[in-house]
Structure 1
């Protein structure tokens, strides 16, 4: 026997979805029944079902999967309450532009056994809210109700078109229980058209020829050009033309609030990253006369630092250049274009070369000239000095271990070297997930990554993404045939707690997704105090300890690594470092090496709880 649930599951599988991250409830009898039918008739289910005891972890895992694979996973949750329990992960998937299909059932509409699936439990009255999809609608690319068995394939196809077209993102679907129990005969089931063969996502668009010439001309004639990006590296193929353009004209590149790896650390014109706190943007912003803002939600914070009012600003975004999902956002620009980064940068390289060739024919070429050579020399020197400064910070260990505190540069330098030593690829096939919050920028700088696709952040501001994302990223790497040697999550102690470690490490053991977790443990939430200091730098709270401010977790902080051990029934390995003898360089290096070996050789999760100076 087939039902609408059979059709829904088949539509997902035929559309190329491989994994469903699920949290079952009373609205899912038809789905559970059909999955068992598949096991009996076919030996297994078409979708890999990943049980998730917490909904935010489920959606974070689907996000991690999508960030690696570039294709959507499914998330299945329980009516209105499960939809609410998706929590801040809804925000993260929206802001990171990660394609995901979310499905929730809904309370039955009948209650007298008029239909199969009618109400038969008391909760079904309480869960029948007026507009269930309104809970998440403003974060979704599309919401839809499944109304009948035969229309499900088309509803799913349309939803996935929205999810996979720029700006990519989550879609939400829901159905009453009676609808999902609707029976269909085998002939109807086999006849229904499934998949996306006639429902493709929207093709990427390029710059208009006029826009390409205009931007290229401005960059060629600029004295102080600058490129700003945040998420260009979501498409790794956009990175080579970025580097070509930057190298041709000696243009510095900076990543603001980056979601992903955008520019190799070793690129001599890479200025690194900024999270836009006061006085943390590149000094080149203040003197920039031409700025290319490409795939960036926030190029600068006007109240902190901004370019000159005379600067020529060109904004290029592949899906949402006006940021329709943001209440207020405005950056003055000469030109705003909706264009794919890879296509646009390729066009700009071609246009720059063509324009310069024409100028060179009359003796006025720019490429290779003294101005560009000198600019390149200065940028290379700046890059080298920054690297040397980081080297010094990493090497400066505490002198008195009994009273000392481990520093983040100490830890990250040792981690980078440990990964390079222990992994077969010398670190080139390591995936870093960065949810270190107030230490975001240090992770980007000290790990010195060079490979596209080697680092991701949540893309949003809701903490708790990392643990679930690590599980999902591991599963995604298997599907996408990404040969990562090692997956490393670097997470603050607050974010670790937000990530529901009891759920995440249970999942990691059940689905065999070993990864290394580095907890930057500063004893609480540093970010709220930093925000307070930004508004009240000399106020009453400026000298108060975090425990008085109620932003600390002490004096008796959780034993974080042992939470992972307990959640996995002893499968995960954990250790605390950064106090007493565990601040010595050789001890830190030995602990990191041991943790990496646990993941690589024993195929288990490892957690290092790294105690730092209090927030």
Structure 2
């Protein structure tokens, strides 16, 4: 039995597990909004007052739930505003299904207001873009979009849907959802186990695929089975390995020369679920030192050998593959060898952590607040089980060295690099995991790009602690300018003093200014008691 196109859209959303729609509506979405109002048990519409915040909320929600989030945008202008968020989602491999209402086809040739080539506009920022021209094609295209959004590499999928198509008084057939079996372990794991078992100084790069696919525990078992030193991939989006573990050596810097130096002491390297090494600043030479034997494991076949050759390239689901690899390594590597490597690594890494702790504590007395002290206060104030959403750039690098996190999903970032993601992502995270403390650590420049997300935080009563680190500048640009030998002040990078408590008040969010590192730590420790959003303004030393 068929149903009208707009109602079919709502039916498919419910069938695909969508319980919230993130959007900012306009006239081209009116048939869809009418269908939502007519449908009992329809997904909740979560309004954002700017499309950047809308997509960021969906991004945070999808990461927390592990399901594709649905985004509804308005025509060409709404899609254009959303492109930054879609680029972030594609780089971070967040599964989204995104629609935008196209203008009425009956006068589209007259170039009406709101119209545009939506598919061409979206294409560079998404995995795939579909132009729906017939009502009977919409249900099938939606099913494809949800399947494609989660297929490795995951990412956003876009559909352009004309408003008159949704309003058609015709019936369309809704195809049943086709369940797919979970992917299995990669072939060739035995060869990988031989290479890693034969290593004298093994190492692991934990990529974001590990966190996305729920494979953290399996990677821990793999590393422990051979005593391998573990690094996070550069600017990791997820917690891919416990930062409390003695084998954890920190995040690789996003420069090839620094990566090469960090990996030079090792003879065999397992790269698990990492998209290349995502360098930020160019440095000459390859990321990997000469003579290093590489085992690469990924659920996306295109990653294997993409930027560097691998002795063993494995394609399969990370969790069962790593679980199988761990078992084979326990059979091949003597337990005393793995244990002694772990103890030695724990001593080295403990010394490095102690140095970072000492530097941070020594800065506690500085006024205004020193970035080290601010990062330390946040790291040590986090309530148990907190989900940290970080978009702080320079302070975020310090925070990564100080946080002690074990629970999967407890740290998120976007490697996409488009500013303004953090506020909305934190709101989405709080909506997805009610009862879990959420602390968003933001740079002042990043916060300025995403301020409209505070409106949704207030409207949703999202219990998020927003910590805005205010250094009054685009500090990472200034640092890079100085490193490149720039003379004088770098033009266009000064923000000056900003009062984010006033900005929060405008959107209806309570706010307070931290006057010391201890005060900041107290505020962060209270995040679990929040019943609504709270913004903490943290002025930092230049």
The TM-score with structure 1 as length reference comes to 0.82
Shift of 1:367: 1.4
Structure 2 residue 183 is matched with structure 1 residue 204:
yes
**Whole-Å Cα distance in 2 between the matches of residues 4 and 280 of structure 1?**
54
Aligned to 2:455: 506
Aligned to 2:335: 368
Shift of 1:236: 6.2
**Whole-Å Cα distance in 1 between the matches of residues 373 and 345 of structure 2?**
26
C-alpha contact 1:2 1:183 (8 A) present in aligned 2: no
**Whole-Å Cα distance in 1 between the matches of residues 224 and 524 of structure 2?**
39
**Whole-Å Cα distance in 1 between the matches of residues 278 and 46 of structure 2?**
40
C-alpha contact 1:153 1:194 (8 A) present in aligned 2: yes
**Whole-Å Cα distance in 1 between the matches of residues 301 and 425 of structure 2?**
25
Structure 2 residue 423 is matched with structure 1 residue 451:
no
Aligned to 1:70: 66
1:509–1:218 distance in 2 versus 1, CA, 3 Å: same
Matches within 5 A, 1:399-478: 399=365, 404-419=367-382, 427-478=383-434
**Whole-Å Cα distance in 2 between the matches of residues 227 and 285 of structure 1?**
9
Shift of 1:298: 3.2
Q: Secondary structure at the match of 1:28?
A: helix
Matches within 5 A, 1:149-188: 149-184=135-170, 188=171
Aligned to 1:603: 531
Q: Secondary structure at the match of 1:136?
A: helix
Matches within 5 A, 1:49-448: 49-111=45-107, 125-129=112-116, 131-184=117-170, 188=171, 192-193=173-174, 196=177, 198=178, 200-201=179-180, 203-208=182-187, 211-235=188-212, 237-256=214-233, 257-277=235-255, 280-281=258-259, 284-299=262-277, 303=284, 306-322=287-303, 330-354=307-331, 356=332, 366-370=333-337, 372-397=338-363, 399=365, 404-419=367-382, 427-448=383-404
**161-170 or 142-151: bigger deviation:** 142-151
Cα RMSD of the aligned pairs, angstroms, is 2.5
1:300–1:219 distance in 2 versus 1, CA, 3 Å: farther
**Whole-Å Cα distance in 2 between the matches of residues 21 and 607 of structure 1?**
23
C-alpha contact 2:75 2:103 (8 A) present in aligned 1: yes
Unaligned runs of 5+ in 2: none
Aligned to 2:469: 520
**Whole-Å Cα distance in 1 between the matches of residues 260 and 398 of structure 2?**
15
Q: Secondary structure at the match of 2:297?
A: strand
**Whole-Å Cα distance in 2 between the matches of residues 490 and 87 of structure 1?**
23
**Whole-Å Cα distance in 2 between the matches of residues 18 and 574 of structure 1?**
30
Structure 2 residue 55 is matched with structure 1 residue 48:
no
The TM-score with structure 2 as length reference comes to 0.92
> For 1:418-462, what per-residue CA distance to the aligned partner results, in whole angstroms no more than 9, with x for missing partners?
33xxxxxxx332110011112333222212112111111123211
C-alpha contact 1:464 1:495 (8 A) present in aligned 2: yes
Equivalences, count: 537
Aligned to 2:501: 561
Structure 2 residue 484 is matched with structure 1 residue 550:
no
Unaligned runs of 5+ in 1: 112-117, 357-365, 420-426
1:530–1:322 distance in 2 versus 1, CA, 3 Å: same
